[in-house]
Amino acid sequence: MTRENIEKTINGLLIEEFEIEENAITPGAHLKNDLGLESLDFVDIAVIVQKEFGLTLKGEEMTSIRTLQNLYDYIFNCIQKK
Amino acid sequence: MSTLDYSITDLIPQRPPMMMIDTLVHADEKSAGGKLIIKESNIFCHGGFLQEAGMVEFIAQTAAAQAGYLQIEAGKTISLGFIGAVKNLIVNSLPAVNSEIESEIIIDSELLGYTIITGRVRQEGKVLAECEMRIKLG
C-alpha cells in the first residue's frame, strides 16, 4: 500500500461519505474546523480504515490526528509496522 | 442460562409500546437473533404493514438484548445503549401485521467506544431490511 493509495482512499471517502468538496481536501485541512467532521464521523472513518486497511484506530491515538496529513501519516505508519 | 430462559424485559430497558422484540432466540459475543410478531397495535405499523422505523428498532433492540444477556450472564448491571447512527439502510419490503419476523445482528467491531453492527430482518428466509448501526453503550 503506497502513500498515494492511502490518500486516494481517504479522499474518496470524504467526498462520497461526507459530501466534502474536492477542493477543500488538502493535506493541511483541519478535520473538524475545515472539513466540518464531527465525533460520529470519526467512527465512520475508523470503520472505513478498518475495512480498507485492516487497522483498528484507537481513541487515544485519534486525539493526535487533527489534519488530513496527520491521518495519512498515521495510516501509513501503522501499515509500515504491520 | 440460555437466552430463552429470560423474559425479554429482563434484557432490555424498553417497555410497551416501544418494545420491538418478543424473544431473544440466541446470543453470543459476536451475533444474536430475535423474533417479533407484528401486532396491529404496534406503534410502527401503518396501513397493515410494519414500517421501516419498526424494523430498524427491531434490529437495535436485538443488539440491546444481546448486550443485556451478556451482561447478566457476566453478573453485571445492564447498561443503556443509544443508536449513534444508522448507515446503508436497505428496505426491500415491509412485513404485514400478524406475521412473524426474525432479526440477525453481527458485531463487526468495536471502535472509538462504539459497537459497529450489521443487522438484518428476515421473513421466511427473505431479507426484508438490512443496515449498519453504530451503537454507544452508556
Question: Domain boundaries in chain B?
Answer: 3-137
Using the predicted structure, report yes or no on whether residue B68 has a pLDDT greater than 80.
Answer: yes
Model-level pTM greater than 0.90?
Answer: no
| Cα A14 to Cα A6: distance, rounded to the nearest angstrom | 12
> Superfamily for B3-137?
Hotdog Thioesterase (3.10.129.10)
Mean pLDDT, range A37-61, rounded to an integer: 87
Render pLDDT for B79-130 as a digit per residue (tens, 0 to 9). 888 999 999 999 999 999 999 999 999 999 988 889 999 999 999 999 999 9
Mean pLDDT rounded to a whole number for chain B:
95
- Which pLDDT score is estimated for A10? 93
**CATH homologous superfamily for the domain A3-81:** ACP-like (1.10.1200.10)
Q: What is the mean pLDDT of residues A23-38?
A: 94
Upper half-sphere CA count for residue A29 (Cβ side, 13 Å)? 19
**B78 band by pLDDT with thresholds 50, 70 and 90:** confident
- Chain A: closest CA distance from residue B124 (Å): 31
Nearest residue, CB atoms, A42 vs list B87, B112, B132: B112
The confidence score (pLDDT) of residue B97 equals: 98
Mean pLDDT of B6-13: 93
A16-30 pLDDT, tens digit per residue, is: 989 999 999 999 999
**A47 has a chain B CB within 8 A of its CB:** yes
Chain B residues within 8 angstroms (CB to CB) of chain A:
84-85, 87, 108-109, 111-114, 116, 132, 134
Name the average pLDDT for chain A. 90
In A, minimum Cα distance to B108 occurs at A47
